[in-house]
């Protein structure tokens, strides 16, 4: 039965002094990719933050900030949180902060992926009372409780604060939640329905679907990925099922997409979730590495309704896979096996490819093309991305090792985080002019190959 499983989360304690809270988040940056105002999926960070705050009795408004948005009026709010979900959207959020009208006594907070990597700079640029570092749910509630006495924010773990002498410091580390099943379900009701339910995002179907997250984090060490080497936390099967039942009841979904960084790490946990959701008879998709799936698990997933897996193939070149430090056992042969096993289990296949990682050249591009060509009969869709050194990644943090330029370590850094997006990005990131020329021409070849082999279909690229 719906909500049977839901109990008040351990973070909740109904508030006698409710606050009005605004959480601002950036519109997703994919206009360039789709050349139209394509809706992207909901902002899970703000949705979870809103859920714990609402559960504690506070009133929450979520505000989507567009690049050219008019100045926002936040005078009605006691607490304002800026969620900076990627480096690329730092400028958009900063503009919102600088032009917003605020109450002088409002508690101002910032957090999110970029803030996690650059808390001191975010604190200074945003002029907020505190920047949350890491998981934000418990920290947000503790900050709200201290909104009338911001000097007591130092009691809250997981914050970056300004000392009275103007220096910055971090309060103790906040350990990640032991069990994210304890969190309330994301507050989707704060968004318009069409930001939650979509009909063009589940494989090639037009099923009514929603996006969900059943795990957080990824322990693997891929050098291009800003989520690498983080602790993985899974929700329980019962918690996953409760959310899907809520989505069926409220939004009449017929399917869903799991948008976790890497859902298939712990096969036991995945099987537990599959067992719990099988009776719901929904269709779904998920992202995975190629070396964590087995025929047995794929069969279990198929019985639970999985119709598409999006594999991080990245490259067809063994040398490039090695350079990327994919960890585990990733190789062209393992890619072949994963695709074949998924097909054998009657699960559709989409591949994610990254072109232009440091070391890429004409030969490695040809290897990628050749492997794609070999696998093409079994592959429904391909998403081709151009490599960008994302802040927070191993590559970004080791510019000399990768002959990188254009990062904030560069003496000529212009402060523009906006270029760290992965679509239509033609920036010269690494190597000399001849490396770049080779990269450009081999990218064009690969692009043409993908476009002609999977016409119109590769563009439905979002996870
Ligand atoms: C789902 C997802 C998307 C979705 C969008 C979701 C959305 N509407 O925001 C799509 C596919 C559209 C997308 C697009 C992009 N993404 Co994305 N995305 C993710 C992914 C897989 C999960 C994000 C998520 O929901 N996490 C779960 C929530 C619960 O965590 P969270 O957002 O970090 O929030 C927690 C804390 O940070 C904190 N917190 C957050 N906000 C605040 C605010 C306050 C006040 C406080 C106190 C705390 C706090 O509390 C939250 C709860 O614990 C992450 C990977 C990852 N591990 O985060 C990549 C990731 C964030 N994306 C990334 C990138 C690069 C992008 C793009 C720039 C790609 C592009 N187009 O070029 C765009 C930018 C979109 C944007 N608006 O920022 C990179 C960011 C790296 C970086 N340094 O910038 C990541 C880390 C992927 C990676 N592995 O490298 N993305
Ligand atoms: S690319 Fe995938 S497997 Fe590698 S660290 Fe990122 S999420 Fe994990």
Contact 289 CB / ligand 2 (< 6 Å): yes
Closest listed residue to residue 186, CA positions, set 287, 79, 52, 82: 52
Q: How would you write the pLDDT of the chain (463 residues) with one tens digit per residue?
A: 233 334 455 565 556 789 999 999 998 755 444 445 567 789 999 999 999 999 999 999 999 998 877 889 999 999 999 999 999 999 999 999 999 999 999 999 999 999 999 999 999 999 999 999 999 999 999 999 999 999 999 999 999 999 999 999 999 988 787 789 999 999 999 999 999 999 989 998 999 999 999 999 999 999 999 999 888 999 999 999 999 999 999 999 999 999 999 999 999 999 999 999 999 999 999 999 999 999 999 999 999 999 999 999 999 999 999 999 998 899 999 999 999 999 999 999 999 999 999 999 999 999 999 999 999 999 999 999 999 999 999 999 999 999 999 999 999 999 999 999 887 788 999 999 999 999 999 999 999 999 999 986 544 445 5
Domains 20-170 and 197-461 share a fold: no
> DSSP characters for 325-377?
T--TT--HHHHHHHHHHHHHTT-EEEEEEEE--TT--HHHHHHHHHHHHHHGG
Long-range Cβ contact pairs of 394-402 (< 8 A, separation 24 or more): 394/221, 394/223, 394/224, 394/228, 394/325, 395/223, 395/224, 395/357, 395/358, 402/358, 402/430
Cβ atoms < 10 Å from Cβ of 206: 11
Q: Give the start-end residues of each E strand in 133-220.
A: 159-162, 168-170, 209-212, 215-216
26 touches ligand 2 (CB under 6 Å):
no
Instruction: Name the β-bridge partners of 29.
Output: none
Would you call 169 exposed, middle or buried from its count of C-beta atoms within 10 A (0-12, 13-18, 19+)? exposed
Instruction: Report the C-alpha gap between 113 and 90 in whole angstroms.
Output: 10
Looking at domain 20-170, which of 3.40.50.720, 1.10.10.10, 3.40.50.280, 3.30.470.20 is its CATH number? 3.40.50.280
C-alpha to C-alpha distance for 172 and 81, rounded to whole angstroms = 21
State in Å: Cα 61 to ligand 2 middle.
32
Atom of ligand 2 nearest to the CA of 328: 3
* φ/ψ bin of 327: left (φ > 0), alpha (ψ from -120 to 50), beta (otherwise): left
What is the pLDDT at residue 460? 43
Q: Give just the sign of the alpha carbon dihedral 336, 338, 343, 347.
A: negative
User: In the structure, which protein residues have their CB atom closer than 6 angstroms to any atom of ligand 1?
Assistant: 26, 28-30, 40-45, 48-49, 81, 83, 85-89, 109-114, 116, 132, 135-137, 139-140, 213, 216, 225-227, 259, 261, 390-392, 420-423, 462-463
Given the CA of residue 220, which atom of ligand 2 is nearest to it? 5
Q: How far is the CA of 42 from the centre of ligand 2 (A)?
A: 21
| Residue 136 buriedness (CB in 10 A; 0-12 / 13-18 / 19+) | buried
pLDDT of residue 425: 81
Q: What ranges do the domains of the chain cover?
A: 20-170, 197-461
If you take atom 88 of ligand 1, which residue's CA is the nearest one?
226
222 touches ligand 2 (CB under 6 Å): yes
220 Cβ below 6 A of ligand 2:
yes
Q: Give me the pLDDT at residue 174, please.
A: 85
The predicted model scores a pTM of 0.95
* Token pair in block for residue 407: 């990062």
CB-based burial label for 312 (10 Å; 0-12, 13-18, 19+) = buried
Instruction: Please name which ligand lies nearest the alpha carbon of 385.
Output: 1
Atom of ligand 1 nearest to the CA of 81: 45
Rg (CA), the chain: 22
Give 36 Cα–ligand 1 centroid separation in angstroms. Answer: 21
Tokens representing 324 are 């990327």
- Residue 9: CB atoms within 10 A of its CB come to 18
* Among 58, 57, 55, CA closest to 22: 58
Residue 155's alpha-carbon distances to 49, 142, 172, in angstroms, are 20, 9, 9
Superfamily the domain 197-461 falls into: Aldolase class I (3.20.20.70)
Q: Which residue has the CA at smallest separation from atom 6 of ligand 2?
A: 225
């Amino acid at each position: 039965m719906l909500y049977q499983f839901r109990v008040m989360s351990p973070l909740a304690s109904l508030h006698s002094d409710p606050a009005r809270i605004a959480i601002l988040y950036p519109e997703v940056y994919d206009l360039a990719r789709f050349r139209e105002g394509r809706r992207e999926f909901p902002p899970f960070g703000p949705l979870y933050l809103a859920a714990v705050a609402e559960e504690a009795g506070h009133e929450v408004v979520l505000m989507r900030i567009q690049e050219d948005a008019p100045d926002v009026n936040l005078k009605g709010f006691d607490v304002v949180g800026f969620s900076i979900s990627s480096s690329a959207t730092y400028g958009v959020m900063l503009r919102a902060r600088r032009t917003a009208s605020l109450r002088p006594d409002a508690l101002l907070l910032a957090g999110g992926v970029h803030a996690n990597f650059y808390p001191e700079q975010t604190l200074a640029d945003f002029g907020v009372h505190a920047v949350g570092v890491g998981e934000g749910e418990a920290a947000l509630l503790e900050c709200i409780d201290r909104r009338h006495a911001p000097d007591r924010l130092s009691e809250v773990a997981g914050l970056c604060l300004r000392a009275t002498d103007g220096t910055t410091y971090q309060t103790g580390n906040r350990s990640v939640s032991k069990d994210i099943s304890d969190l309330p379900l994301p507050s989707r009701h704060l968004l318009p329905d069409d930001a939650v339910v979509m009909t063009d995002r589940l494989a090639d179907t037009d099923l009514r679907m929603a996006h969900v997250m059943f795990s957080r984090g990824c322990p693997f060490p891929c050098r291009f990925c800003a989520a690498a080497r983080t602790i993985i936390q899974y929700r329980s099967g019962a918690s996953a099922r409760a959310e899907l039942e809520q989505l069926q009841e409220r939004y009449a979904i017929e399917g869903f997409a799991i948008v976790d960084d890497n859902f298939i790490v712990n096969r036991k946990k995945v099987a537990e979730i599959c067992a719990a959701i099988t009776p719901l008879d929904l269709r779904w998709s998920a992202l995975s590495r190629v070396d964590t799936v087995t025929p047995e698990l794929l069969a279990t997933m198929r019985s639970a309704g999985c119709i598409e897996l999006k594999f991080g193939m990245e490259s067809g070149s063994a040398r490039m896979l090695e350079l990327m430090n994919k960890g585990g056992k990733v190789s062209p042969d393992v890619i072949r096996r994963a695709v074949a096993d998924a097909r054998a289990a009657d699960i559709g296949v989409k591949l994610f490819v990254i072109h232009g990682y440091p070391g890429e050249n004409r030969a490695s591009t040809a290897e990628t093309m050749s492997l794609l060509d070999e696998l093409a009969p079994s592959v429904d869709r391909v998403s081709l991305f151009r490599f960008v050194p994302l802040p927070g990644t191993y590559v970004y943090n080791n510019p000399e090792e990768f002959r990188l330029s254009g990062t904030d370590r560069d003496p000529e850094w212009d402060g523009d985080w906006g270029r760290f997006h992965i679509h239509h990005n033609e920036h010269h990131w690494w190597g000399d002019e001849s490396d770049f020329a080779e990269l450009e021409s081999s990218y064009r070849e690969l692009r043409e190959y993908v476009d002609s082999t999977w016409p119109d279909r590769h563009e439905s690229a979002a996870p």
